[in-house]
Chain A
């Protein structure tokens, strides 16, 4: 079975500050890992994905995440927060055999303070 734990249901940062959203996964098989962002009243948009190539993954809007097998983590970071980054962020895991459903964490709401 696979699962994802996102630490912190709500994170608040100042504009220009570092963004760090935490995700730990559990998987009995090699995983694929994803970060999605959800803006109010919209669907989920893919930020970035880890699919067993490079452990440091760069995504859209300046976000990146590092896969750390020893820590079973896939934390999302951005050096400098923008007001437009305020949204809900979801970490998700699936099996690396492909074409399988995503298992999502509960999400972290990011607020950016001017």
Chain B
């Protein structure tokens, strides 16, 4: 079974530029998460999707960050314009849904963003 795919793996941009990250979850997983992991910290949720609907985006800086999951499968996270403090690893995770056996989140390798 293929895991969560993310691209690109690395991205270097200058501040005020825009950037987009892509995630393809495990086939059949209805729930998709984007986390931000700043160096030296644990991942923090940015946004959660259930199929193509947003469940929780309370921690997403909406003035610069946007995300979509139009067909309920893959997802794109965009930052425009980027700030220095956006330098982090952006992790995508997916899960099959609620329930003891299904509520396991599987993570992609992440995209490491450096903003100069």
Contacts and interface: CB of A to CB of B under 8 A. Distances in A.
Interface residues of A, number: 27
B31 A99 contact: yes
B24 interface: no
A104 B111 CA distance: 19
Contact of B110 (A4, A9, A43, A107): A43
Contacts of A102: 43, 45, 105
B98 A41 contact: no
Interface residues of B, number: 30
A106 B100 CA distance: 25
B107 A43 contact: yes
Given A43-B109, A45-B107, A99 B95 contact: yes
Contacts of A43: 4, 6, 91, 107-110
